Amino acid sequence: MLKVPDHQVAGHQGGHGQPGPLIDDSGRFYKPLQDDDRGAREAAFYTSFSSNTRVPDHIRRFFPVFHGTQLIEASDGSGQRPHLVLEDAVSGRSHPSVMDVKIGSRTWYPEASEDYIQRCFEKDRKSSGLCLGFRISGLQLYGSEEFELWKPERKLVQNLSADGVRVVLKKFVSSNSPIDPNLNPDCAFASSVYGGSSGILAQLLELKSWFEDQTIYHLNSCSVLMVYEKKKVLKGGSSDAEVKLIDFAHVTEGNGIIDHNFVGGLCSLIKFISEILTSPDECTTKVCLQNSDNKNEILTSSNECTTKVCL
Amino acid sequence: MLKVPDHQVAGHQGGHGQPGPLIDDSGRFYKPLQDDDRGAREAAFYTSFSSNTRVPDHIRRFFPVFHGTQLIEASDGSGQRPHLVLEDAVSGRSHPSVMDVKIGSRTWYPEASEDYIQRCFEKDRKSSGLCLGFRISGLQLYGSEEFELWKPERKLVQNLSADGVRVVLKKFVSSNSPIDPNLNPDCAFASSVYGGSSGILAQLLELKSWFEDQTIYHLNSCSVLMVYEKKKVLKGGSSDAEVKLIDFAHVTEGNGIIDHNFVGGLCSLIKFISEILTSPDECTTKVCLQNSDNKNEILTSSNECTTKVCL
């Protein structure tokens, strides 16, 4: 009944001696509790959040529904283990295009250990996060053909320049093949996925308003998951675009201060997406997409528009 | 004709073997160019900014007018030296209450030297900046009596907790003595200084809208100067509240990315000020203000409201 999810693009996956998440047919996502503080902190966040009456309903929908914790057999066969039981953000979708964007130029926080702070500090400096205020942690993207799926290596998308990120955000809403290096993303679905009153931009703006005001939680190292149904859009239907916040293993108390690191990063992501909606043709960046190390020519200069980006 | 300014609350002051700024009677402020990169970078910023047609007029007014550079005798008698010639932000005011707030949880930037990055990283962690997204760099505050002036030591205000910052932001707009430790700030002038269509909050919100969109400059380590005319407010007149951005020695190019560090910090400052306007009486924090080391009981817990804050 439980199985490994098809559409996970970031976060801890199973294998390599660690259990991964599982899903069931009823739309639940089972996330193994991490052994260290992170597991306890994430469970504490979900418990606090799900009973917090200060969180308005129109914001609550951006967070996965929490169904408690449950002891189940771990995916790696290591025996029973506590799992968070959550709403599966991509449940019921057959061809979901998914992007995981970690928000914030800083993933560490004052309350963390010195060792953790130093590791994050160095990692943030090497990733896109410091410059952009966010970084793409992973994505999967269906093409127009039935079985065409683009799922680039995480380490490549995490370190993209501003131009590289622009290309990926455009490919996310384009009808032409994400894999063909000779095709510029046509942004054919930008208005139906990013735009409109229920599109991703509108949802991000709603979140932004709340984050400018709420001082309850600081969502350190948390991700925005952007999902839509590629198959439906290709047939002229609604995109069913949805934004979810995920990964709360490093949440700390806000103590009366807004999460300014999250707000800044979110504003930056909003600006990137707004630009695609207002001027989708501005950059004519050529993209090649082979996932091999010798093709890893990632842009470092970020204001050059007619350059080649290889993922 | 040139003299040392009366109302400087932060930044490099004269003495200790370095020249300080000077002012004249016509409303100009002469800032000595720093010898290292900083002087050249600040001059380059003012030159670029003053001729940049992409900066809208309603935003330009938040920046001091730039009148070029000029060789003048340095304030420390060390001979002629190039100075930036700027608009004096407090010119024409007899009793200006002034607060200098450095915006951003991070004062360093990727282009800086490794040594500079490490020094800022450590300093940011020790100041209020990391937690709050901004820090008070200095202030002066007139009382209701003619010659009552509160000008606390900079090192004390830079490291305030959230509650300490709240108290100072309230004292800034209160009619009762800023120095008397037994008086809670009455926030009598909150609505005329922070509120209203031309108050400080409205000006900060206007800046925020621009910073959410502009990708030309990253104003690393820049300050918001908040000024108003205490004497006029005491007599029932207008506060003449004004916001100016100052200190551009660490500006870098935006390269198509918003200044998310500045945006986040500005949003946090806006939230603090909004709260004073909506619930000025929420905290009944007791404050004592002697500038002596053994009275330096600054709050470290930030969500405790009925505590004593000593500056």
Question: pLDDT tens for residues B69-115?
Answer: 999 999 988 899 999 999 998 988 888 999 999 999 999 999 999 99
Contact state of B264 with A268 under an 8 Å Cβ cutoff: no
Nearest-10 Cα torsion for B288, B291, B296, B300: 70
- Residues in B closer than 8 angstroms to A131, CB to CB, are 110, 257
Shortest Cα distance from A151 to chain B (angstroms)?
A: 26
- Residues in B closer than 8 angstroms to A125, CB to CB, are 110
What angle, rounded to 10 degrees, do the helices at B162-171 and B260-278 form? Answer: 60
Contact state of A255 with B302 under an 8 Å Cβ cutoff: yes
Instruction: Report the residue of chain B nearest A214, measured CA to CA.
Output: B271
* Stretch (H or E) spanning B100: strand B96-103
CA distance B293 to B304: 23
Shortest Cα distance from B12 to chain A (angstroms)?
A: 28
For residue A3, list its beta bridge partners.
A23
Rounded mean pLDDT, B212-229: 97
Q: Is B17 exposed, middle or buried (0-12, 13-18, 19+ CB in 10 A)?
A: exposed
Contact state of A110 with B132 under an 8 Å Cβ cutoff: no
Contact state of B268 with A258 under an 8 Å Cβ cutoff: yes
| Mean pLDDT, chain A cut into blocks of 10 residues (311 residues total) | 85 76 94 90 96 97 97 92 94 91 96 94 93 96 84 89 95 89 89 96 98 98 96 90 97 97 98 94 49 37 36 46
pLDDT band at B282; cut points 50, 70, 90: low
Q: How far is CA B95 from CA A134, B199, B225, in A?
A: 44, 18, 15
- Residues in A closer than 8 angstroms to B119, CB to CB, are none
Q: How far is CA B198 from CA B52, B92, B202, B276, in A?
A: 25, 19, 6, 17
Are the CB atoms for A81 and A74 separated by under 8 Å?
Answer: yes
% of chain B beyond a pLDDT of 90: 68
- Residues in A closer than 8 angstroms to B270, CB to CB, are 212
**What burial letters (b/e) apply to A253-274, b meaning 16+ CB within 10 Å?**
ebbbbbbbbbbbbbbbbbbbbb
Is 0.95 topped by the overall pTM?
no
Interface pTM, i.e. ipTM: 0.90
CA distance B8 to A6: 61
Instruction: Report the residue of chain A nearest B304, measured CA to CA.
Output: A255
pLDDT digits (tens, 9 = 90+) for B131-140: 999 999 999 9
Shortest Cα distance from B124 to chain A (angstroms)?
A: 11
Contact state of A270 with B121 under an 8 Å Cβ cutoff: no
Contact state of A258 with B106 under an 8 Å Cβ cutoff: no
Rounded mean pLDDT, B181-200: 92
Residue B26 has pLDDT above 60, yes or no: yes
Task: Give the nearest partner residue to B131 out of A106, A110, A265, using CB atoms.
Answer: A110
Contact state of A257 with B132 under an 8 Å Cβ cutoff: yes
According to the model, what pLDDT value does residue B125 have? Answer: 92
Its sign, for the CA torsion A141, A143, A149, A154, is negative
Shortest Cα distance from A271 to chain B (angstroms)?
A: 7
Q: Which residues of A touch B (CB under 8 A)?
A: 105-106, 110, 121, 125, 130-133, 162, 212-213, 215, 253, 255-258, 260-265, 267-268, 270-271, 301-303
Residues contacting residue B142 through CB under 8 Å, at least 6 positions apart: B95, B96, B97, B148, B149, B150, B230, B231
According to the model, what pLDDT value does residue A282 have? Answer: 66
Q: What is the DSSP letter of B187?
A: -
Size of interface A-B (CB pairs under 8 A): 91
Q: Which of B257, B259, B270 to mutate to test the interface with A (most CBs of A within 10 A)?
A: B257
Contact state of A110 with B133 under an 8 Å Cβ cutoff: no
Domains of chain A (ranges; CATH) run 22-87 (no CATH), 96-282 (3.30.470.160)
Contact state of B260 with A267 under an 8 Å Cβ cutoff: yes
Q: And the tokens for B207?
A: 């800046």
